[in-house]
C-alpha cells in the first residue's frame, strides 16, 4: 500500500533523482515547443495569407495532424533514426534530441493550425485597412503576428501542454534510460509498472502542477491581451 | 497651399464592377478634380462604398478604366480612406495613429507631436491610451478619420464619415473637411445627410443601382434637378 506522504516527502525534500527528471522533461518539452514555434508560426502565417494550389488540402491536413497518435509518430521517428534507417547515421536514437524531434513533430501541427486560424481571422479584419495604408507583404506578416501575439501565446501553451503530458512517442525514441532519457511521463509509466508508487505519484503531482501553471499563464495572456489590445 | 496633387484628376471611364451576374457599378464615367469636395449620395446599396473603393484603388474594375493623374497604376501613397465600418487595430487609440504615421513614412521623432495634434483635431483628447476596440462607435469613427489624416493625403475618401456621430461631432468633422479642403486636399465623401451634402459639396453625384443618375454643382442639384429620379430622391421618395 503506497502512502502519499512518501510521495509528498520526495517532492518537498527536493529529491535529486526526481528533480533531474523534472528538469529534463521541461528542457525537452520547451525545446520542442521552441522548434515547433519557429516552424509552425511562419507556416501558419503562410497558410493564412497566401493563396496557392493545394492550400485547402494543406489546411485540412494540418488540422488533422493535430490529432496525430503519439505512438505512431514515435514509431515513424524510430524507423527513421534506427541504425538501419535513413537517418541512422546520425546516431540519435535513444537520445534527448530524438525525443525533442518527436515532440516537435507532435506539436508543430498544433501551433501551425492554431496560428493559421488566429492570423487568418485577424487578417480578415485588418485587410482593408492595410491595403489602404499601403502595407507591404513583410510588414503585413509582422503586424499580424505582433497584434495576434496574445492569442498565439495561448497556442504555444496548448502545444507545451501536449508535449509535457505526452509519453507514447518519447518512450519509443528515447528508450526511458535512467538518468539520461527518463522524463516525468516515462518515469511514471515505468515506476507504476514496477510498483514504486511514491516516485510515480510525486512526479504525477508535479506534472499536474505544471499543467495548472500553463493554464493559468494562458488565462493571464488572454487577460493582458484584452487589457492592452481590446 | 501644398504642391499640386499627383493623383489628380481621377478619371473613371465606363467603370463596371460585377460579382457574378450582378453589376454593382454599371458604366460609371466621371472625373474627380482638385477643389471643393465631391459628395456621393444615393439609396442604400446604390454603390457609393464600391465607387469609393474603386477610386481609392482597392477594387479593380471588372471592365473600364481608371487613372490617377493620368496613370493607370498608382499605389495609394498619397490617398487615404475612412471606411464606413472602420477596423481598429488591436492597439491604443494613439497606437492606431502611430501605425498609420509609420506606414506613411513619418519620421519617428515627429510622430508624438503629430499624434497629439490629430487626437485634438478629432476631439479624442483623454482617450489616447484606451484600447481602440473599446472606444464607442462614434469615437472609433473619429479615430479612423485621424488615422486617415495621418497619411497627410492629397486625396481623402470618407465613407459616411458622420453616420454615427452626435451633432457636435458632426459639426467638428464638417469643419475638418472644410479645413483640409482649404489646405488643398481633395475630399470625396458619401453621405445620407442631404443637408450635409449641400453644406460641403462642390459637386454632388447621385448613384442608383450602380448607375450615375446625375451629377453637378450642389446649388443646381438641389434647385433644379434635371432628372425625375433626382427630384424624387431629394423629396425623400423611393427610387425605382
Ligand atoms: N463584395 C461584394 N459581393 C457581393 N455584393 C456586393 C459586394 N460589395 C457590395 N455588394 C453589393 O453591391 C451593392 C452596392 O453596395 P455598396 O456598399 O457600394 O452600397 P452603398 O451605396 O455604399 O450602400 P449604403 O448606403 O448602404 O452604404 C449592394 O447591393 C451590395 O449588396
Ligand atoms: Mg456604403
pLDDT in tens, B128-185: 999 999 999 999 999 999 999 999 999 999 999 999 899 998 999 999 999 999 999 9
ipTM score assigned to the predicted complex:
0.91
Any idea which residue has 483635431 for its cell? B121
Does B4 contact ligand 1 (Cβ within 6 A)? no
Strands B79-82 and B155-159, by their bridges, are parallel
Strands B211-217 and B79-82, by their bridges, are unpaired
pLDDT in tens, B10-20: 999 999 999 98
Cross-strand bridge partners of residue B212: B207
- A132 CB neighbours in chain B (<8 A) are 56, 58, 76, 80-81, 83
Structural domain boundaries in chain B: 1-78+153-240, 88-152
Contact B89 A129 (CB under 8 A): yes
Best of A125, A126, A230 to mutate (most B CBs within 10 Å, chain B)? A230
- CATH number of B1-78+153-240: 3.90.1150.10, 3.40.50.300, 3.30.530.20, 1.20.1370.10? 3.40.50.300
pLDDT of A4 strictly over 70: no
pTM over 0.95: no
Structural domain boundaries in chain A: 2-225
Least distant ligand from the CA of B205: 1
C-alpha cell at B239: 427610387
- CATH number of A2-225: 3.40.50.300, 1.20.1530.20, 3.30.450.90, 1.10.3720.10? 1.10.3720.10
Range scoring the smallest mean pLDDT among A1-5, A191-195, B154-158, B196-200: A1-5
Contact A132, B56 (CB under 8 A): yes
pLDDT in tens, A167-219: 999 999 999 999 899 999 999 999 999 998 988 999 999 999 998 998 899 89
**C-alpha span between A24 and A47 (Å, rounded):** 34
Q: Which of A135, A142, A115 is nearest to A59 (CA)?
A: A115
Q: Find the mean pLDDT for residues B90-100.
A: 96
pLDDT of the residue at A171: 94
Which of the four pLDDT bands, split at 50, 70 and 90, describes residue B41?
very high
pLDDT of the residue at A1: 44
Amino acid at each position: 500500500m503506497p502512502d502519499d506522504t512518501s510521495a509528498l516527502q520526495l517532492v518537498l525534500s527536493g529529491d535529486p533523482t526526481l528533480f533531474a527528471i523534472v528538469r529534463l522533461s521541461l528542457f525537452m518539452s520547451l525545446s520542442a515547443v521552441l522548434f515547433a514555434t519557429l516552424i509552425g508560426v511562419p507556416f501558419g502565417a503562410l497558410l493564412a495569407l497566401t493563396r496557392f494550389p493545394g492550400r485547402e488540402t494543406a489546411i485540412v491536413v494540418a488540422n488533422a495532424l493535430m490529432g496525430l497518435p503519439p505512438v505512431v509518430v514515435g514509431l515513424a521517428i524510430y524507423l527513421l533514426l534506427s541504425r538501419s534507417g535513413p537517418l541512422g547515421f546520425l546516431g540519435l536514437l535513444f537520445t534527448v534530441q530524438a525525443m525533442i524531434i518527436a515532440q516537435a513533430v507532435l506539436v508543430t501541427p498544433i501551433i501551425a493550425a492554431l496560428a493559421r486560424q488566429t492570423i487568418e481571422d485577424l487578417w480578415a479584419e485588418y485587410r482593408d485597412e492595410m491595403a489602404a495604408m499601403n502595407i507591404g507583404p513583410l510588414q503585413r506578416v509582422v503586424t499580424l503576428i505582433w497584434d495576434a501575439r496574445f492569442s498565439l501565446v495561448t497556442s504555444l501553451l496548448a502545444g507545451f501542454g501536449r508535449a509535457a503530458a505526452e509519453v507514447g512517442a518519447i518512450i519509443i525514441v528515447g528508450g526511458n534510460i535512467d538518468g539520461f532519457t527518463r522524463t516525468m511521463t516515462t518515469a511514471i509509466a515505468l515506476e507504476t509498472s514496477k510498483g514504486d508508487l511514491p516516485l510515480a505519484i510525486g512526479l504525477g503531482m508535479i506534472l499536474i502542477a505544471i499543467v495548472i501553471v500553463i493554464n493559468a499563464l494562458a488565462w493571464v495572456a488572454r487577460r493582458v491581451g484584452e487589457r492592452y489590445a481590446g | 497651399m501644398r504642391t499640386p496633387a499627383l493623383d489628380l484628376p481621377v478619371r473613371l471611364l465606363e467603370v463596371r464592377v460585377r460579382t457574378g451576374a450582378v453589376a454593382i457599378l454599371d458604366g460609371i464615367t466621371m472625373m474627380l478634380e482638385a477643389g471643393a469636395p465631391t459628395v456621393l449620395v444615393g439609396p442604400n446599396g446604390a454603390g457609393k462604398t464600391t465607387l469609393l473603393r474603386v477610386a481609392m484603388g482597392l477594387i479593380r474594375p471588372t471592365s473600364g478604366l481608371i487613372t490617377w493623374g493620368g496613370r493607370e497604376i498608382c499605389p495609394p501613397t498619397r490617398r487615404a480612406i475612412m471606411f464606413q465600418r472602420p477596423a481598429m487595430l488591436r492597439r491604443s487609440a494613439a497606437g492606431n495613429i502611430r501605425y498609420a504615421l509609420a506606414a506613411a513614412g513619418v519620421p519617428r521623432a515627429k510622430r508624438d507631436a503629430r499624434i497629439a495634434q490629430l487626437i485634438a483635431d478629432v476631439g479624442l483628447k483623454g482617450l489616447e491610451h484606451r484600447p481602440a476596440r473599446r472606444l464607442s462607435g462614434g469615437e472609433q469613427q473619429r479615430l479612423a478619420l485621424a488615422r486617415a489624416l495621418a497619411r497627410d493625403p492629397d486625396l481623402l475618401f470618407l465613407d459616411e464619415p458622420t453616420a454615427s456621430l452626435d451633432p457636435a461631432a458632426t459639426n467638428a468633422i464638417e469643419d475638418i473637411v472644410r479645413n483640409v479642403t482649404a489646405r488643398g486636399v481633395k475630399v470625396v465623401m458619401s453621405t445620407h445627410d442631404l443637408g450635409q451634402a449641400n453644406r460641403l459639396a462642390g459637386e454632388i453625384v447621385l448613384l442608383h443601382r450602380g448607375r450615375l443618375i446625375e451629377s453637378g454643382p450642389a446649388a443646381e442639384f438641389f434647385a433644379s434637378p434635371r432628372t425625375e429620379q433626382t427630384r424624387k430622391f431629394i423629396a425623400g421618395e423611393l427610387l425605382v
